[in-house]
Structures are given as structure tokens and as C-alpha cells.
Amino acid sequence: MKRYNWIVRLVALMLASYLLLAVSVLAAGTPGSESDPLVTLSYLNDTFLPQLLTKVDEKLAERDRALSDKLDAKVSADAQRLSEQYGAGTGQSGGSSGSGQYDTFTVVTLSQNQTLYGEIGCEVMLRVGSAVCVTPSTPGLIDETDGSTLGGGKELAQNHLYMMTIDDRGVKATAATVKLLVRGGYTIK
């Protein structure tokens, strides 16, 4: 019987040890759980990387919106500045004021020796009389009809469209009455 007691004790001790070991393993956590994380390639590819890319995309979209808003504000400010600089109230003699004033041609009549100075982009077409180009340097006026340039003192051809691409360019009347079609800002001196 003693032998039997000893075997029972040994089995009980082994069961107790096994139970203690099982409890300690369960208490320590299983690999891959929150208490004992195990990082695997599938976790990185399937979970972590998509979350990271989503956050990066959100940050990029936010930055893109901010830059787009900043660019829109800058373009609006520049457009406003250019509108004020080259728009209404630029010393135009004659013609209508307000938006769209440069969309159509205006008939301008000059007396002999009067000079029309156009702003950059102003277009002029000689319809009646004769006139010469006034310019302190070359090129003078751009002849849009035949693609050439007209120097200072040279006579304008009737029904040719000329453009002023540099400041201080103009058209001086050499006949008693000169009629011009003008589109753009100008002053008469």
C-alpha cells in the first residue's frame, strides 16, 4: 500500500505541476495577443500598412487642400491687382467705363498733331486719314495684320490692326481728321 500511496502522490504532484504550468502560460498570454503581441508579415501587410497609407493619404489631401486654397487666394489677389492696374479708371479718354470696356472697339477721332498713347495690349486700326507711329525705341507697334513691326515715324497702313506691346507707344495724327478704332486703355495728348 505504501507503494500505491507513493504513486498517487507522484501523480497528484505531476498534475499539480502541470496545472501550475498551464495557469502560468495562460497568465503570460498567448503569442500574438494584446498582452504579448507578435508582429508577423501578414499583420504588417494586411493591417498596419493599409492603416498607415490611409493616414498618409489623409495628410496629403489636407495639405493639398491648404495649398490649393492658398493658390486660389494668390490668384484672386493678383487678378484683383491687375484689374485695378489695367482695368477701369486707367486714364482712358472716351469709351465706356466698367467691366467689359475693352471687349469692343471704340471710334476715336484725332485732330492733326494729337497723339493717342495706348496701354500695353491696346489695339489700334487706322480707318480715316493718316498717322505715324510714335515710339522712343524699337519695336514701335506690332502690325497684327501682316506680322511685322512698325518703327517710330513710319506711317500706319489703313485697315491694319496694330498692337502696343510696350509702354510709351502711340499714334500721331498727320491729317486734319483721323479716325481710329481702338480697343484697350489709352490717353490722348
For residue 171, pLDDT beyond 80: yes
The C-alpha cell 494729337 sits at 114
- How far apart, in whole angstroms, are the C-alpha atoms of residue 49 and residue 61? 18
User: For 17-23, what is the mean pLDDT?
Assistant: 82
Enter the C-alpha cell of residue 187.
490717353
pTM beyond 0.75? no
CATH topology of domain 106-188: Jelly Rolls (2.60.120)
Q: Per residue in 120-135, pLDDT tens?
A: 989 999 999 999 999 9
For residue 97, pLDDT beyond 80: no
The C-alpha cell 486654397 sits at 69
Question: For a pLDDT cut of 70, what percent of the chain falls above it?
Answer: 81
Q: Per residue in 29-46, pLDDT tens?
A: 566 666 666 677 888 888
